[in-house]
Amino acid sequence: MIERLKDLIANNFIAKKIQEKNNILLRSRKEVDINGNGTSGYTIKEGEHKGTVLGHIQRNKSALETKKKDELYDELGY
């Protein structure tokens, strides 16, 4: 029984060390400034294309969002 526990403890120790290293890497990353300065994308800060905004977020409106309020009330019977 002691041999089985040694193996479990050793595996747990290794898993904790790996998790600690992953947490250190995660915390050391720099965050990208998305939505900074009122943009809905990432602004390039260095190089030939400095100031260009990449990756604008656009979404298509659903049919319900494009209808006027009066039309929605008529459909619902209010």
| pLDDT tens for each residue of 6-56 | 989 999 999 999 999 999 999 988 876 666 666 567 778 888 988 887 777
**Distances from the Cα of 17 to the Cαs of 7, 12, 13, 23, in angstroms?**
16, 9, 6, 10
Instruction: Confirm if 9 and 16 have CB atoms less than 8 A apart.
Output: no
- For the segment 52-78, the average pLDDT, to the nearest whole number, is 67
In DSSP terms, 43 is beta-bridged to 53
**pTM score, whole prediction:** 0.40
Number of domains in the chain: 1
Domain encompassing residue 71: 2-76
Task: Band the pLDDT of 57: cuts 50, 70, 90.
Answer: low
Please report the pLDDT score of residue 55 as a whole number: 74
Let me know the angle formed at the C-alpha of 60 by 58 and 65, rounded to the nearest 5 degrees.
125
Please report the pLDDT score of residue 25 as a whole number: 92
Q: What residue has token string 């659903």?
A: 62
Please report the pLDDT score of residue 78 as a whole number: 56
